[in-house]
Amino acid sequence: MKKACLLLFAFFLVGCGRFSDFSGDEGRWVWSNALSSVEIRSRGEIELSEDGSEVMGLAPGARLLLRERRLSRVRELEITAAPDGTPQFHYEVGGRQSEIDDEARRWMAAMMLRVARETHIGAAARARRILSQNGPDALLDETEDLESSAAAQIYIRQLVERGPADPPILQRAVRVAARTISSSSRLRKTLVTLAESQPQDSPLTVELMEATEEISSSSESRKALAEIVRRRPLDAESAIAMARAIGTISSSSERRAALEELSRAAPPQEDVFSAILRTIEGISSSSEQRRALISLIDKQTLSPFIQSETAQAVRRISSNSERLRVLERLAEVCSTEKTVIRSYLDAVESMSSSSSQGKALTALLQNRRLNDEALEAVLRTAQRISSRSVRERVSEEIERQRSNAINRGGTVSRGVRAKPQRTQS
């Protein structure tokens, strides 16, 4: 008996599914299981009643088809436009035309409820009607009850097309869109529509950035952030909100690409750069971490504090070769302040490859004119490198810099010997 019940349950589940397809002004929705199916097809603009229970009018050439199968019984209703635009009905049961009696009307009402709640048929006309009669808040209330992402997108678009709205309404529209539009591509398009058509105020930009966190697709999330930042200027608050949103993107390459957009547009403030660095540290790929850090170095003039933090971020990269590439780029632009040099040297010491350590120290020496205190710090780091040949190469470069300093009339401290003691490698 138990086995028979399980087989029966499995039979009910076979073929269960939901499907939708759109092409131009045509749409198709299908819900099915082993015992029944419902299909809705639409073409052209269709206007429904306020409660969605009736078709009030159709544009020329428009059509609505409702079909239901229960076991072997099939019912179908086709609604088209009469010459005067009023609806005309063709109802069939089992493939034969039938009268529309009370039972048919009850079936039509149930089907129309599904049309109104689970498709976007008639959504534009309904949205315009709600807006004109009850205003934006009423429209957003209705949007929150929708089960169709497409319909929610249309409602928000009608709000935008109506013209400028109060900032609180727009911020609420962004939050409602994030909650009700489950399709990644539809939510991206809706947020971009709001971004490009509304006033350039920071609170709305922050709401838009936070709303992208609801986009499940990494590529769509990155596209949304990039399109928003290209349309709206960033202040510190909205830039930090963007950095947080980027941190929710699961793909390393998409997160890095979004960070490059942020690095280009971010205001030059330390709290913004610190937020960017925290987001970079969350990237799992060493190569993508390297690309994001170099993008930040290349596109912004970084303060010594952020240069120091950047060097510290290098230590979180697992690949020695990727660490080296960032340090070599940082060496070209970094300050010679003590904290920056110390962070740079800490990053060098965190590397496990003697060769990479030597190249990073050489890059610093060749690109920066260091004072003697900094040279001594570099030498101490070099003396801890396990390879004797690398130690000697770095020491020779330090000696060259000391000689150049003397030739320029500088003074050199001898607190640390320029040539390290020879130890076994």
pLDDT tens by residue, 228-284: 999 999 999 999 999 999 999 999 999 999 999 999 999 999 999 999 999 999 999
For 27-55, what is the mean pLDDT? 86
Cα–Cα distances (Å) from 145 to 1, 103, 233, in that order, read: 42, 28, 33
Alpha carbons 292 and 278: distance in angstroms, whole number = 11
Statement to judge: residues 22 and 114 lie in one domain = yes
Residue 122 DSSP SS3:
coil
For 108-136, what is the mean pLDDT? 86
Helix, strand, coil % (nearest 5) of the chain?
A: 60, 15, 30
Q: Would you say 79 and 55 are in contact if contact means Cβ atoms under 8 Å apart? A: yes
Higher-pLDDT residue of 162 and 226 is: 226
Higher-pLDDT residue of 418 and 90 is: 90
Statement to judge: residues 222 and 268 lie in one domain = no
pLDDT in tens, 183-200: 999 999 999 999 987 777
Tokens 């939708």 found at: 20
Is 133 among the domain residues?
A: no
Cβ atoms within 10 Å, residue 184: 19
CB burial readout 258-297, b (16+ within 10 A) else e = bbbbbbebbeeeeebbebbbebbbebebbbbbbbbbbbbb
What is the pLDDT at residue 410?
Answer: 53
For 166-176, what is the mean pLDDT? 92
Q: Is the pLDDT of residue 57 over 90?
A: no
What's the number of domains the chain is made of? 4
Is 139 among the domain residues?
A: no
Statement to judge: residues 246 and 218 lie in one domain = no
Cβ atoms within 10 Å, residue 124: 18
Statement to judge: residues 107 and 27 lie in one domain = yes
Cα–Cα distances (Å) from 171 to 165, 198, 220, in that order, read: 10, 11, 21
Statement to judge: residues 376 and 404 lie in one domain = yes
Residue 230 structure tokens: 């290209």
**Average pLDDT score over the chain:** 87
Is 142 among the domain residues?
A: no
Q: Which of 363, 284, 275 is nearest to 324 (CA)?
A: 363
Of 232, 259, 279, the one marking the end of a domain is 232
Of 232, 249, 281, the one marking the end of a domain is 232
Statement to judge: residues 168 and 96 lie in one domain = no
Is 10 among the domain residues?
A: no
For 154-182, what is the mean pLDDT? 90
Per DSSP, 65 falls in state E
Q: Is the pLDDT of residue 421 over 50?
A: no
What is the pLDDT at residue 13?
Answer: 43
Alpha carbons 263 and 55: distance in angstroms, whole number = 52
Alpha carbons 381 and 125: distance in angstroms, whole number = 72
Statement to judge: residues 227 and 283 lie in one domain = no
Is 239 among the domain residues?
A: yes
Of 232, 251, 284, the one marking the end of a domain is 232
Is 311 among the domain residues?
A: no
Statement to judge: residues 227 and 238 lie in one domain = no
pLDDT level of residue 3 (50, 70, 90 thresholds): low
Statement to judge: residues 215 and 162 lie in one domain = yes
Residue span of the structural domain in which 193 resides = 149-232
Statement to judge: residues 182 and 162 lie in one domain = yes
Statement to judge: residues 260 and 214 lie in one domain = no
Q: Would you say 367 and 331 are in contact if contact means Cβ atoms under 8 Å apart? A: yes
Statement to judge: residues 227 and 242 lie in one domain = no
For 141-150, what is the mean pLDDT? 87
